[in-house]
Amino acid sequence: FRNFPGPGGGRLREPPPDSEGSESDPEPEPEAEEEEEEEEGDGGGAQEEPAAAPPPPGPALQELRAELGGGAGAEPNLTRLLRQREWGRSFSRQERSQLSSHFLPNHEAALEPHPQKVFCGIFSECGRKFLTASQDHTLRLFEVSGEGLRLLRASRGRQVGWSILDVAFSPDGRQALYCSWASAVHVFDLDGDGDAHTALELRPEERRFAVFSLAVGPDGRDVVGGANDGCLYVYDRQAQERVLRVPAHEDDVNAVAVADASGQLLLSGGDDGVARAWDRRCLPEGPAVTLAGHRDGLTFLHARGDGRYVVSNSKDQSAKLWDLRRPSGAAALAAARRAVARQSWDYRWQRAPRNARRATPLPGDASLLTFRGHVVLHTLLRCRLAPPGFAPALAAGSAEGAVLVYDVTSGRALRRLTNHSACVRDVSWSPEGAWLASASWDGTVRLWDYRDDDDDDDDGGGGGGGIRV
């Protein structure tokens, strides 16, 4: 049963009671016993998160800090900078980053209930639309306003197995794409009254097939998918055919992303614990970059879009920040393979093993930073970098019903948003960083913004996303 399918990908040594992971499955057990229980959130739903001292920065990390402006540890004179803006002075990228680091989301501004577990929730590139997918096989499109979300339309997905697993907007925001346990990715128009769904057939070789993750090229022509057969797929919408099938990993491909504005550099992450970058101009030569340092399978990848920085999330209970210019060597790849081969637990319904949160890096780990604190159980949890121009922050969903917000330049956890009562599978930043959305298995989507402690909080509502710089 090496590739026996399940709700979150990954190999199984024995089949589960229900092969599609339905609601009749055993409830997932709690975390490992040695882990202390987290405190409940306060009325605002956020806590300051203590963290261990970060390791000394290397040259690559120092370069990142210089580029992003120093992160949340920097202490600019806010009054002076704001007064200078009133006088017509423009902020530098570093100053914008430093300012916005002080206004990270800390307040639940809006809540949108769904009838079943919510698997996906993302903003469009323009920020005016928000798309969700839940286990009732329905995609819901919302309009984003200062008050939160307003439902525009709902459409039932086609050929959905256990659940819709991932969604994506086309670059112009006029179409949505989604994937599930099917041989095709589907696309449908968001404008108009029609409800036609078009299948983009990937023609897999395996009979039991799922696409766990989706990405769309910058021009909307290419659709990239990672599947349970260990392959990376590319569908050309203009040619109306699959144009690439790349044997990318030794196990399920749980995550894909487009790394640069050209759309030529593709990323994949698998249950073999490795992330790889593929240059479409030289595919016969194999992966352009290999990133090895996790001890277990990857659940998600998010690229900054500059062809350099990418974040990976893993079942080893950590996320890592990588620089694609610093690939892993043969020793790191061998160490990762050994570590993954020793894993014998199933993260979907078992507790994390006692050593899952060990801090010792694997030999040859070239990642810039490792983020620890969020819990990766039950499903393919996501983490996403804040948009360029906002604070250098990383938001990560957690199986304990929380969202953790980390400082990308230090690895410190700065916020812990705790109002969810079940696993937070997806997180998404609005394009300007004003909103952070969290999609949870408690059947809700919540929008978070920044609110000053002195603000009136009578109704718990939001004020439109805090301060924008």
Per-residue pLDDT of 345-375, as tens digits, reads 999 999 998 887 777 899 999 999 999 999 9
Radius of gyration of the chain (CA): 21
Average pLDDT over residues 256-269: 97
Residues 293, 432 within the same domain: no
Average pLDDT over residues 433-449: 97
Residues 261, 350 within the same domain: yes
Residues 122, 244 within the same domain: no
pLDDT score for 194: 86
Domain boundary among 379, 411, 434: 379
Asked if residue 88 belongs to a domain, the reply is yes
pLDDT score for 64: 76
Among 396, 375, 440, 377, which residue's Cα sits nearest to residue 35? 375
- Give me the percent of the chain exceeding a pLDDT of 90: 68
pLDDT per position as a tens digit, 216-245 = 999 999 999 999 999 999 999 999 999 999
Q: Tokens 């090229």 identify what position?
A: 217
pLDDT per position as a tens digit, 335-349 = 999 999 999 999 999
Q: Which residues contact 393 (CB under 8 A, 6 or more apart)?
A: 72, 101, 104, 385, 386, 405, 406, 407, 408, 414
Residues 255, 323 within the same domain: yes
Domain boundary among 323, 345, 379: 379
Residues 109, 254 within the same domain: no
Asked if residue 399 belongs to a domain, the reply is yes
CATH of the domain at 283: 2.130.10.10
pLDDT score for 458: 45
Residues 371, 433 within the same domain: no
Instruction: Flag the least confident range among 1-10, 43-52, 139-148, 412-421.
Output: 1-10
Instruction: Flag the least confident range among 78-87, 89-98, 340-349, 362-371.
Output: 89-98
User: Is the separation of the CB atoms in 271 and 249 below 8 Å?
Assistant: yes
- Give me the percent of the chain exceeding a pLDDT of 70: 77
Q: Which residues contact 36 (CB under 8 A, 6 or more apart)?
A: none
Q: Sorting pLDDT into bands at 50, 70 and 90, what band is 47? A: low
One-letter amino acid of 32: A
Query: What rounded mean pLDDT belongs to the chain?
Result: 83
pLDDT score for 452: 83
DSSP string, 129-163: EEEEEETTSEEEEEEEETTEEEEEEEEE-SS-SS-
Q: How many angstroms separate the CA atoms of 248 and 238, rounded?
A: 24
Asked if residue 270 belongs to a domain, the reply is yes
Q: How many angstroms separate the CA atoms of 247 and 205, rounded?
A: 12
Asked if residue 109 belongs to a domain, the reply is yes
What range does the domain containing 207 cover?
202-379
Q: Sorting pLDDT into bands at 50, 70 and 90, what band is 12? A: very low
Asked if residue 108 belongs to a domain, the reply is yes
User: Is the separation of the CB atoms in 462 and 109 below 8 Å?
Assistant: yes
Residue 87 pLDDT greater than 90, yes or no: no
Per DSSP, the three-state class of 195 is coil
Asked if residue 469 belongs to a domain, the reply is yes
Residue 67 pLDDT greater than 80, yes or no: no
Asked if residue 384 belongs to a domain, the reply is no
User: Residue 345: how many CB atoms within 10 A of its CB?
Assistant: 14
pTM of the model: 0.83
In sequence order, what are the beta bridge partners of 111? 446
Residues 411, 300 within the same domain: no
Tally DSSP H helices, then E strands, for the chain. Answer: 4, 29
pLDDT per position as a tens digit, 178-211 = 999 999 999 999 998 889 999 999 999 988 999 9
Instruction: Flag the least confident range among 5-14, 121-130, 361-370.
Output: 5-14
| Top-confidence residue, 94 or 204 | 204
Residues 345, 408 within the same domain: no
Among 422, 406, 376, which residue's Cα sits nearest to residue 35? 376
For the CA atoms of 165, 38, 311, 353, what is the dihedral angle to 10 degrees?
A: -80
**Residue 320: enclosing H or E segment and its boundaries?**
strand 318-323
Residue 70 pLDDT greater than 80, yes or no: no
Residues 361, 399 within the same domain: no
pLDDT score for 358: 74
Average pLDDT over residues 110-121: 98
Domain boundary among 379, 411, 442: 379
Average pLDDT over residues 437-442: 98
Domain count, the chain: 2
pLDDT score for 62: 77
pLDDT score for 19: 32
Asked if residue 172 belongs to a domain, the reply is no
pLDDT score for 383: 98
Residue 91 pLDDT greater than 70, yes or no: no
